[in-house]
């Protein structure tokens, strides 16, 4: 008899048949006596089609009108899902973001949730209804519809779970959980039953396919446990929750891999204050996502700074960095594509020594050279040759005994 929040993404509700299938899944939970609040996305393809229509009329459509336009996608899904539930005898009521009491700031197309007034939804649940809520959208102070940007429906689900004080928040997706590493690389990779928020955030390449960092951060902030699970099977997924002492017994939780990285090294940087700030301000102003940054101790008054970006942003990053190099008198810039970032993640690392050494040893034994190293409390990342990435993942995954 729990209060369960579920979220189904665009693929899970991508056709009339799939909506009917989601309705049957909801019914099976409902029949067990649980109270349910279900957040849904627009049917897959709908949002892109609306964007395309708007851009045909205006290459730079107004953000406020785009929000009103795109919000119709989820509004269609909530009504269709409620109608499908009625057909199989499950009482249900649909709610737009506004009717569900999701209040946001006024930043159209990427609004932030400010507050949720869940009274209407709670009253409907108390009347025995399944509440069906449009994800990705809310309303600002002035009554305008807003949307939450990428990954917004996950955010709606987490926030709704917090507001309703739900017992569980289930994020249904097309993978059945988070694995110790990509099973396409290591077929014996196993599903991780429990992860901390921080581990989920650090499992970049694994986690980000499942959920945007933003939603995980929100869940961490409001301490909302959530489960990532498949909308195609009945198996349990991965539960993400706040750190508990027993989590530390597992030293390394998983091995994560980001391909398509590129590295830029600025050589001969004068060892004076201000260079790094100027450099990364210029990159930020060009909207370039910088990932790892490594700077060594200077020798003879000059030093090197290396950083990584997505390989599709390499050219843009070089153009943005060049004026800073020229102005502040560094000697040069080296760029390299074809690299990958391999990370081991686990909160157990904090209390275990020798983790990094073990990782480096396994890479050396596999003949993989390490180009850059960066560490955090719960992660060790290395930059390696992309062509060696698969064998590197297998070696590290094996070294930490992560296979099933």
Taking phi first (over 0 means left), then psi (-120 to 50 degrees means alpha), and beta for anything else, what does residue 187 get?
Answer: alpha
Q: Which is nearer to a second copy, 86 or 209 (CB)?
A: 86
- Counting Cβ atoms within 10 Å, is residue 61 exposed (0-12), middle (13-18) or buried (19+)? middle
Q: Which is nearer to a second copy, 50 or 194 (CB)?
A: 50
Closest approach of a second copy to the CB of residue 57, in Å: 4
- For residue 144 the two structure tokens come to 């305008």
Distance CA 88, CA 86 (A): 5
Number of helices and strands in the chain (H, E): 12, 18
Closest approach of a second copy to the CB of residue 82, in Å: 5
Q: Which is nearer to a second copy, 32 or 62 (CB)?
A: 62
Q: Which is nearer to a second copy, 63 or 217 (CB)?
A: 63
What is the b/e burial string over 31-48, where b = at least 16 CB atoms within 10 angstroms of the residue's CB? eeebbbbbbbbbbbebbe
Taking a C-beta distance cutoff of 8 angstroms, is the pair 403, 190 a contact? Answer: yes
Q: Dihedral through CA 231, CA 233, CA 235, CA 237, nearest 10?
A: -30
Closest approach of a second copy to the CB of residue 100, in Å: 11
Closest approach of a second copy to the CB of residue 16, in Å: 5
Distance CA 168, CA 3 (A): 7
Q: Which is nearer to a second copy, 2 or 16 (CB)?
A: 16
At residue 274, φ and ψ (nearest 5 deg) are 110, -20
Closest approach of a second copy to the CB of residue 93, in Å: 8
Distance CA 330, CA 326 (A): 7
Query: Which parts of this chain interact with a second copy (CB under 8 A)?
Result: 16, 19-20, 23, 50, 53-54, 56-59, 61-62, 65-66, 68-69, 71-72, 75-76, 78-80, 82-84, 86-87, 94, 96, 99, 120, 143
Q: Which is nearer to a second copy, 49 or 223 (CB)?
A: 49
Closest approach of a second copy to the CB of residue 65, in Å: 5
Q: Which is nearer to a second copy, 48 or 337 (CB)?
A: 48
Closest approach of a second copy to the CB of residue 286, in Å: 27
Distance CA 355, CA 350 (A): 9
- For residue 216 the two structure tokens come to 């995980």
Distance CA 79, CA 95 (A): 8
Q: Which is nearer to a second copy, 34 or 64 (CB)?
A: 64
Distance CA 92, CA 96 (A): 13
Closest approach of a second copy to the CB of residue 51, in Å: 11
- Counting Cβ atoms within 10 Å, is residue 207 exposed (0-12), middle (13-18) or buried (19+)? buried
Closest approach of a second copy to the CB of residue 102, in Å: 14
387 alpha carbon, distance to own chain's centre:
26
Q: Which is nearer to a second copy, 69 or 392 (CB)?
A: 69
- For residue 283 the two structure tokens come to 């990159």
Provide the β-strand partners of residue 5.
Answer: 37, 169
């Amino acid at each position: 008899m729990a209060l369960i929040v579920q979220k189904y993404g665009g693929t899970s509700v991508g056709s009339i048949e799939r909506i009917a299938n989601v309705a049957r899944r909801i019914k099976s939970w409902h029949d067990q006596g649980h109270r349910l609040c279900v957040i849904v996305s627009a049917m897959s393809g709908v949002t892109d089609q609306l964007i395309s229509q708007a851009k045909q009329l205006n290459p730079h459509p107004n953000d406020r009108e785009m929000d009103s336009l795109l919000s119709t996608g989820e509004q269609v899904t909530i009504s269709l899902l409620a109608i499908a539930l009625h057909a199989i005898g499950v009482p249900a009521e649909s709610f737009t973001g506004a009717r569900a009491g999701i209040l946001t700031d006024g930043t159209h197309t990427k609004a932030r949730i400010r507050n949720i007034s869940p009274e209407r939804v709670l009253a409907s649940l108390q009347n025995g209804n399944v509440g069906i809520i449009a994800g990705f959208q809310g309303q600002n102070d002035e009554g305008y519809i807003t949307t939450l940007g990428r990954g917004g429906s996950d955010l709606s689900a987490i926030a709704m779970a917090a507001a309703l004080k739900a017992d569980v928040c289930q994020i249904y997706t097309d993978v059945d959980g988070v694995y110790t590493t990509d099973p396409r690389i290591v077929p014996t990779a196993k599903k991780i039953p429990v992860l901390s928020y921080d581990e989920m955030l650090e499992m970049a390449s694994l986690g980000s396919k499942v959920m945007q960092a933003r939603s995980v951060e929100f869940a961490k902030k409001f301490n909302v446990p959530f489960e990532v699970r498949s909308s195609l099977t009945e198996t349990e997924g991965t539960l993400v929750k706040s750190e508990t002492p027993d989590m530390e017994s597992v030293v390394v939780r998983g091995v994560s891999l980001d391909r398509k990285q590129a590295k830029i090294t600025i050589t001969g940087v004068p060892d004076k204050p201000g260079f790094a700030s100027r450099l990364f301000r210029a990159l930020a102003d060009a909207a370039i996502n910088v990932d790892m940054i490594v700077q060594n101790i200077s020798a003879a008054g000059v030093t090197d700074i290396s950083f990584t970006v997505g390989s599709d942003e390499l050219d843009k990053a070089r153009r943005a960095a060049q004026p800073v190099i020229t102005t502040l008198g560094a000697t040069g810039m080296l760029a390299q594509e074809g690299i990958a970032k391999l990370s081991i993640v686990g909160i157990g690392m904090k209390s275990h020594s020798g983790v990094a050494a073990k990782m480096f040893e396994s890479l050396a034994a596999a003949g993989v050279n390490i180009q850059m190293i960066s560490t955090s409390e719960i992660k060790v990342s290395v930059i390696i040759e992309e062509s060696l990435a698969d064998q590197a993942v297998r070696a590290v995954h094996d070294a930490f005994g992560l296979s099933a």
